[in-house]
Amino acid sequence: MLVFDAHLDLAMNALEWNRDLTRPINEIRRRELALTDKPDRGRGTVCLPEMRRGGVGLCVATQIARFVKPANPLPGWHSPAQAWAHTQGQLAWYRAMEEAGEMVAITDAAGLERHTRLWQQWLAADEPSGPTDAAKSAGRARPAPPLGYLLSLEGADSLVTLGHLERAYAQGLRAVGPAHYGPGTYAPGTEATGGLGARGRELLQEMDRLGLILDVTHLCDESFWEAVEVFQGRLWASHANCRALVPHHRQFTDEQIRHLIARGAVIGGALDAWMLAPGWERGKTTPESAGVNLERLVDHIDHVCQIAGNARHSGVGSDLDGGFGREQSPADLDTIADLARLPDLFRARGYRDADIRQIMHGNFLRFLREAWSTGPDNTSAGPRG
């Protein structure tokens, strides 16, 4: 089944973790065995071959570069210009993957439809129907299509001016999360408090004009409620779980989930283990000791479905290798290819195949079709002349 993963930090892993994501996962892990600079060394879960193996033919891929002021203890760049330059390096990596035939940018409805058909045809042709076909499928004898990616900016601190947002849109940016962790230029995020401020409201208004998608994932509670009031366009939560199941302000309350549903949003369930297990202690708790497995993700997605009364507002935004690896992923997940196991887990809960397809890819595809049918490509909105 085609999988749409709504949040992957691919360029971050390629440039900051120095991972050649075109190589097999075991090779990437072996090259990191002697490294100790990051806690997930040798335990990565994402590479392009594993995405293909699991049918993850579409994703939302990020640019991310935090700007930190002198009093901010978080790691990051010391000026917005440095942060912007880093996002440009990340963009260059995505372009290099396009030139190599590994990836293709999805920026409009026509490209989305073309790429989706290509992948669905490829997956259908590889569906085993007998012993011979099964063996062929296991080896993926036919080359897979390139991986489609929609470019998103996680944390807007790298936007030196609003003119840089317009420039980023021209480069293919289609979604923006104004905040990440801590205090930000345009909005406070996870582990911070407070409203948007004037610059944040101006950012949202410019996003509205350009037809960009607002990703509310990391907004703190105050900035979330202000943002959804100011922003009039389409919004989603690319990688977020439920506070009712794991109490933490990084997660969404049922009230926030209801508001997102009313706005037509889709919420991508995330696989960072601390978001799946109450009481997780970083560096101490393990997925095995906390009983974190893929079923926990199904719990969170099911919670959203129960609030909605249907399966039209849930998806997958795995966030795999978003600064963590197997040490902080479900114990029964080895690589991103294991997302292909989710449909069977939903079937065991009584979900119909039509609803499972919606969760695995259909809801985010529908969201984009609707957003782009009335977006800047079909209206007067868009860059100024």
Specify whether the backbone of 219 is left (phi greater than 0), alpha (psi in -120 to 50) or beta: beta
Domains and CATH numbers, the chain: 4-128+138-373 (3.20.20.140)
CA atoms within 13 A on the CB side of 25: 18
Long-range contacts from 194-202, C-beta under 8 angstroms, 24+ separation:
194/220, 194/222, 194/223, 195/222, 195/223, 195/226, 196/223, 196/226, 196/227, 196/230, 200/226, 200/227, 201/226, 201/230, 202/162
| DSSP H or E stretch at residue 28 | helix 25-31
Q: Mean pLDDT over all residues of the chain?
A: 93
Which of these, 47, 63, 54, lies nearest to 4 by C-alpha position? 54
User: Percent of the chain scored above 90 by pLDDT?
Assistant: 90
**pLDDT of 134 strictly over 50:** no
Q: Which string of b and e fits 186-195 if b means at least 16 CB within 10 Å? A: bbbbbebeee
Which of these, 87, 208, 200, 106, lies nearest to 150 by C-alpha position? 106
- pLDDT given for residue 131 in this prediction: 40
Q: What is the pTM of this model?
A: 0.94
Amino acid at 167: R
Amino acid at 35: L
Predicted confidence (pLDDT) per residue in 140-184, tens digit:
457 889 999 999 999 999 999 999 999 999 999 999 999 999 999
Q: Which band of pLDDT confidence, cut at 50, 70 and 90, is reported for residue 137?
A: very low
Q: Distance (Å, rounded) from C-alpha 223 to C-alpha 250?
A: 12
Q: What is the DSSP letter of 21?
A: T
Cβ neighbours, 10 Å, residue 381:
15
- pLDDT given for residue 141 in this prediction: 59
Amino acid at 62: T
Structure tokens at 27: 């090779």
Predicted confidence (pLDDT) per residue in 250-309, tens digit:
999 999 999 999 999 999 999 999 999 999 998 899 999 999 999 999 999 999 999 999
User: Percent of the chain scored above 70 by pLDDT?
Assistant: 93
Higher pLDDT, 129 or 223: 223
Predicted confidence (pLDDT) per residue in 366-381, tens digit:
999 999 996 544 433 3
Amino acid at 83: A
Least confident of 115-129, 231-245, 333-347: 115-129
274 contact partners, CB below 8 Å, separation of at least 6: 280, 282, 285, 328
- pLDDT given for residue 127 in this prediction: 63
